[in-house]
Amino acid sequence: MSTPSGNSVSAVRVPTFLNPAKYIVLIIVTTLIMGTSFPVGKIGMGYAPPFLLMGLRYILAGSLMAFALRKRPLPKKWQAWGKIILIGLFQSAGVMGCAYYSMNWISSGESAILTFMNPLIVIIFSALLYGLTYRLSQWIGVIIGFAGILLTFGWHMSFSPGTWIGFGGAISFAVSTLLIKRWGSDYDTFVLTAYQMLAGGVALLLLSVWTEQPHFTVTTVSILSLIYLTLICSILQFSLWFYLLQHSDPAQTSSYLFLAPFFGVLSSWILLSEQVEWYVGAGGALIGAGIYLVNRRSASTKKA
């Protein structure tokens, strides 16, 4: 990745890059968790409507983290709290609210495909907002990776209200990615994680009251689903994701999100007994190729 001569990108903080091996391990764990959130969420939606389920998830996760972090210093200025709330509205409420609400019209696979268009949108926003430029091979990598996602899900796409809602979630994901990169280093990672989830959870509960008939059927399965979504898919996932964004290039890190829907297919096969076709493996190969192209450094960059 390079910038045109004369363009200033001082607004973007220079990250402290992670050890490559540690970076890869954290990326795989994070995207694996993201992938499992779709089938587990689909299970949970059998016992509660989407906004309520997501609202409970983030309220519980945010409250647990806030309690555990009660001795850590918190932001004192209202502007700092405003940034946290804004991140929460995009990251928690916007992304997952759109993803799960879109499943009223489209499948969980289609929702995942749309949500994880985020890497392409991040690159476009980075180019427009910060004047960053990307090599042709990186753009080709994004396209190949997205083609891999489509192939993974059998090229089944449809256009409905859910399609546009899911796409809205992808845009929200891209915006939150750039906001976290811009402001995240000003906060304790775990404090930011906790309170942005609380902000997003409150917004989702309000949406539930306004648009749904809130109900939660208490069973062993519904409780276990909510616990997994709260502890693993919220607290652990967001902490890892924010940490990665703060210590890497956001566009390159976001490119690995192509792995999340692939892991979603595999976890759906395990948890929901959904059939996995041959094209899943082929799609995974394309996803890997796309990730390689997006993250491959040119010879001149390596020399520098």
In a domain, 3, yes or no: no
Work out the pLDDT band at 153, boundaries 50, 70, 90: low
Selected residue with higher pLDDT from 28 and 20: 28
In a domain, 205, yes or no: yes
- Domain containing 186 equals 20-298
Domain count, the chain: 1
* Residue of 42, 109, 74 lying closest to 191 (CA atoms): 74
In a domain, 85, yes or no: yes
Mean pLDDT of 100-108: 80
Cβ 174 vs Cβ 121: under 8 Å: yes
In a domain, 76, yes or no: yes
Q: What is the pTM of this model?
A: 0.76
Q: What secondary structure letter does DSSP report for 15?
A: P
Helices (H), 69-188: 78-88, 97-101, 108-115, 118-130, 136-152, 161-183
Q: What is the pLDDT of residue 162?
A: 81
* Residue of 229, 233, 106, 125 lying closest to 164 (CA atoms): 106
Distance CA 207, CA 53 (A): 11
In a domain, 1, yes or no: no
In a domain, 201, yes or no: yes
Task: Extract the tokens encoding 99.
Answer: 């993803």
In a domain, 14, yes or no: no
In the numeric block, the tokens 């996602």 are attached to 149
In a domain, 13, yes or no: no
